[in-house]
Structure 1
């Protein structure tokens, strides 16, 4: 029997299906991967609001990660919503020494504005995750909260997403040390929920396929733009 390739996704659920693990699984499946899901939070969400959030205990999050590695190690990891400092630290402890590409989508708030990572969690993310993951993918508001200078000085690589920027052309900027690559796209008529999840999961799948970081980002950027265009065409 052929064994399905699986990436590890550490994230929260979204009852609307628009973001979180639901979206991650759809993207990974389309790109040829199954998902080993590690649930960090259960959220009650509609497209307009976050109604309730229940965080999973940090020791259970860590146990899920350890169990996911027990059978066979995934070729890449994507990290999304973490919720609080205890979960951030548990994830960092569980993955410490893990020699795999890790993509961190720093989910700080929902599209509706609801805070999804506590202040303690933000501090723990800065200390425990930003310096050693393969890639961090903040949008412009997230980069302001995490600190633009900190991101560029302490992270191995940063993809600064320009979706919140002004103008007709959006620019995602990948920085690796002194190297900078810009991925441009025409601003679409609308932006669906879950674009951050889609992009970061697609990058993780590219890295799992053995692509270099810039190539993985380029492939994922094209995938996201094609997805949005397809949604518009369907309307």
Structure 2
């Protein structure tokens, strides 16, 4: 049975179903939440490549967000692919001042390497969203682009994901001000597409349930490891 509150997911579609909004909806459903979807981009993707991307007009993105709050307000927000500066600013304008948890997964490139956020979009992300969202969840390449020092010093909280690390033990590091928490896991045989979507949506669901940030991250980290293990067992 679904819970009385939904979560708002702002992201692109993925025609392969492996990532983006379709993955977000699947994860939220497992946690008992319906999703209010805000589409920022339509992508034509296979498991191997991004073939085409069409961004949604920024005004329409903002209108979708405002309409989502017009009825029953969501309990948390997850932000994924944004595409360019206009969409970043539209999202920031529509969410600024709303009192609810907001998790930002800064989608800069696809797993296959296709660029999904423009240079001006990265600049707008740093200026308009990073300083005030509840949590930002970059992987290691994204953290380098955004600036590790900026993430530590300018964000309310950051979760640096270690999935691209070379060690046999991968570590996700959560920083909140001067505090730090490490979530370690053994590297698994393969990493499926959509792990970033899965983790950030699971965290948003935990926050929507009223968990403290560290507890929500711990629950989501455990959920992702079990999901990957289940995929390997089914092969």
Q: Same fold (TM over 0.5)?
A: yes
Residue aligning to 1:229 = 229
Give the Cα–Cα distance (whole angstroms) in 1 for the partners of residues 167 and 175 of structure 2.
Answer: 22
Structure 1 residue 11 and structure 2 residue 19: aligned?
no
Counterpart residue number, 2:33: 33
Partner residue, 1:100: 100
Q: Distance in 1 between matches of 2:196 and 2:181?
A: 19
Give distance in 1, aligned partners of 2:218 and 2:78: 17
Distance 1:96 1:180 in 2: 27
Q: CA deviation at 1:3?
A: 6.8
Where do 1:147-158 residues align within 5 Å?
Answer: 147-158=147-158
Q: Secondary structure at the match of 1:214?
A: helix
What residue is the counterpart of 1:86 in the other structure? Answer: 86
Tell me the distance in 1 between the aligned counterparts of 2:5 and 2:26. 15
What is the match of residue 205 of structure 1?
A: 205
> What is the number of equivalent residue pairs in this alignment?
234
Match of 2:144 in 1: 144
State how 1:113-152 maps to structure 2 within 5 Å: 113-152=113-152
TM-score where L is the length of structure 2: 0.99
Runs (5+) with no aligned partner, structure 2 = none
TM-score norm. by structure 1 comes to 0.99
Q: Is the Cα–Cα contact under 8 Å of residues 5 and 32 in structure 1 kept in the other structure?
A: no
RMSD across aligned positions (CA): 0.8
Q: Distance in 2 between matches of 1:97 and 1:40?
A: 21
- In the alignment, what sits opposite 1:48? 48
How far did 1:5 drift? 2.3
CA contact (8 A) 1:104 1:200 kept: yes
Q: Structure 1: state its 5+ residue gaps.
A: none
**Distance (Å, rounded) in 1 between the aligned partners of 2:151 and 2:225:** 25
Q: How far, CA to CA, are the matches of 1:232 and 1:7 in structure 2?
A: 29
- Residues 3 and 142 (structure 1 numbering): CA distance in 2 closer, same or farther, change over 3 Å? closer
Q: Which residue of 2 aligns with 1:77?
A: 77
Instruction: Answer whether contact 2:3 2:32 (CA < 8 A) is retained.
Output: no
Equivalent-residue separation in structure 2 for 1:3 and 1:33 (angstroms): 6
CA distance in structure 1 between the aligned counterparts of 2:3 and 2:53, rounded to whole angstroms: 35
Whole-Å separation in 2 of the counterparts to 1:85 and 1:101? 22
Deviating above 4 A after TM superposition, structure 1's stretches of 4 or more consecutive aligned residues are: none
